Amino acid sequence: MPATTYVPGDALYRGDEIGIRDPRVVTVAGYGAVELEYGPVGLTSNCSVAVDAGPEISFLVTYSDSSQESSASTVDSRPERCAQASRAAAMVIATAGARD
């Protein structure tokens, strides 16, 4: 499934049904991607990045802060959470490229 299925207007978009909020088209390591949050408003501490890996294939990396309390290492903002998810996705791409 292409990453664009996470963008409203795509024929396969089902984000409203599963609680996707504010998807944004981005790139990760030169690949097309969509970053998004999902879950209940106000209770979300995650960011997912769906990255196109081929014409009909994408992979999803989610950064989720599961800590129960605030600390110096807690990631509080969407840009920070999405940056963490994008870094992890870039590592997946680099690892996959090294295996070719």
33-91 pLDDT, tens digit per residue, is: 999 987 666 666 789 999 998 887 889 999 987 766 655 556 678 889 899 999 999 99
d(CA 80, CA 58): 22
pLDDT for the residue numbered 40: 66
Q: 28-60 burial, b if ≥16 CB within 10 A, otherwise e? A: beebbbbbbbbeeeeebbbbbbbbbbeeeebbb
pLDDT for the residue numbered 64: 84
Phi then psi dihedrals of residue 29, to 5 deg: 50, 35
How far is residue 65 CA from its own chain's centroid? 14
Q: Is the model's pLDDT at 25 over the cut of 60?
A: yes
Number of structural domains found in the chain: 1
User: Which residue type is seen at 23?
Assistant: P
Tell me which residue range forms the domain holding 30: 3-98
The pTM of this model reads 0.81
Q: Is the model's pLDDT at 4 over the cut of 90?
A: no
- According to DSSP, the β-strands at 57-64 and 31-38 are unpaired
d(CA 25, CA 22): 10
